[in-house]
């Protein structure tokens, strides 16, 4: 890894919403100090958020919401908003 690259693996703050209408306006500019952490890279469902979706199982909206091709489900369509930070001055930009 060169001096102008930074690994983004680690603990990120995040917000999990059941659907797009429940996302937080202004995220990630909000104070995230009290937000849960999620390991990146990772899989939200394997870290206790929502439930895994398997290809041999119906989607969560099947039988609960009529979704036509080109539409998206409104009741259960999980959205995860993730944020992390770093300080650009940590990089040595003089290294070619």
Determine the pLDDT at residue 3: 64
pLDDT band at 38 (very low <50, low <70, confident <90, very high): very high
- Digit-coded pLDDT (tens) for 11-29: 999 889 989 899 988 877 7
Which domains can be identified in the chain, with CATH numbers?
7-87 (2.60.120.260)
- Please state the pTM of the whole predicted model: 0.66
Q: How many CB atoms lie within 10 A of CB 41?
A: 7
Indicate if the pLDDT at residue 60 is higher than 70: no
């Amino acid at each position: 890894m060169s001096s102008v690259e930074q690994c983004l693996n680690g603990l990120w703050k995040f917000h999990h919403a059941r659907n797009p209408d429940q996302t937080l306006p202004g995220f990630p500019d909000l104070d995230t100090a009290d937000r849960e952490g999620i390991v990146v890279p990772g899989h939200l469902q394997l870290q206790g958020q929502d439930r895994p979706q398997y290809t041999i199982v119906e989607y969560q909206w099947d039988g609960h919401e009529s979704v036509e091709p080109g539409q998206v489900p409104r009741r259960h369509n999980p959205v995860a908003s993730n944020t992390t930070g770093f300080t650009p001055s940590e990089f040595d930009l003089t290294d070619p």
